[in-house]
Chain A
């Protein structure tokens, strides 16, 4: 039960974190810290397979593999949300760019027209 609560809290906070975009450098730094922690944890889990099971047991889960699965699901979820948001930001930039091009083109035609007339 403990782990379920923890997992739900983790899902909610990670999604909230992913949704609330932090200013560029800060969020990049946090992403990198998480990545490094992930690498350390992965190496530790490979070297000491029992460690994973011990942690899992501590949270009331039967096997370490289950813990791994849960965490992967959370990671995949966070990744998906962050990807969607990143795409939305990039779409917005493309829109601004395309609009600027369209307006610039219109201004140029305007100028040509007034020169001709």
Chain B
């Protein structure tokens, strides 16, 4: 376990201004990019936890070597399940805020930082990232249709009015997090988490963020067909 102690996570001073923040990253076969993502986060956040969801390409070791705290699911369960595991771990560690972050490098650390600052400044329990509040993000037309459909379904099934329901970048305060129990193991958790956070009646806001569509994330991102899976997952539960 030398690799775990070698990382900057343990050498970061506890007086760091974001030492009460845990960044939770569900990780499944992202060996190419995960190291860079974690190193980027560790410059601003001392606590990064990766939930290796049964990766087969050594992603977990890379994450651990890069300085993240590593949890391993013995089998692949899905992103929702990995998030829930991360939430429970972060709460055990005494996290005040949890940042959910994607492993594929499509989120910006600056955005996460700004969202945490805003949650503190405005006393918000939840800050959702949204790629549709400004025009920095350029999703393709098809992607836009899929995402807008997801938002529409989420908004009619919840009372929360959001512009981008399936954005993986969120900041959640511990009091809101304690009321979250994700049961959708796969992709439908994007809607589920909004539903459950909406039920807490705690103050929330949306923050414009940029989603970087690199060739890598485009190749790995959700397809149109997966939105069918999301709908079916939400109906049969």
State the A residues within 8 Å of B (CB).
84, 88, 91-92, 94-95, 98-99, 101-103, 105-107, 109, 112-113, 116-117
Contact = CB atoms under 8 A, between A and B. Distances in A.
A48 to B, nearest CB: 41
B145 interface: no
Interface stretch (B81-89, B129-137, B214-222): B81-89
Contact of A109 (B4, B51, B75, B185): B4
A98 B73 contact: yes
B4 A113 contact: yes
B72 A103 contact: no
Contacts of A88: 236-237
Top 3 A-B pairs ranked by shortest CB distance?
A102-B71, A99-B85, A106-B71
B121 interface: no
Query: Which of A91, A92, A99, A101 gathers the greatest number of chain B CB atoms within 10 Å?
Result: A99
Contacts of A102: 51, 71-74, 85
A102 B50 CA distance: 11
A102 B81 CA distance: 11
Nearest to B49: A106
Secondary structure type dominating chain A contacts: helix
B5 interface: yes
B156 interface: no
A103 B88 contact: yes
A97 B17 CA distance: 35
B142 interface: no
A55 B84 CA distance: 54
A83 to B, nearest CB: 12
Given A99-B81, A99-B85, A102-B85, A113 B5 contact: yes
Given A88-B237, A94-B75, A113-B4, 11 more contacts: A88-B236, A91-B185, A95-B77, A98-B73, A99-B81, A102-B72, A102-B73, A105-B71, A105-B72, A106-B69, A106-B89
A85 to B, nearest CB: 8
6 contacts: A95-B77, A98-B73, A98-B77, A105-B72, A113-B1, A113-B5
Nearest to B183: A92
A84 B85 CA distance: 25
Contacts of A116: 5
B51 to A, nearest CB: 7
A94 B75 CA distance: 9
A88 B72 CA distance: 22
Interface in B200-237: 236-237
Contact of A98 (B81, B89, B183, B236): B81
B1 A99 contact: no
B32 to A, nearest CB: 23
A107 to B, nearest CB: 8
A113 B7 CA distance: 13
Nearest to A99: B85
A106 B69 CA distance: 9
Contacts of B74: 98, 101-102
Contacts of A101: 73-74
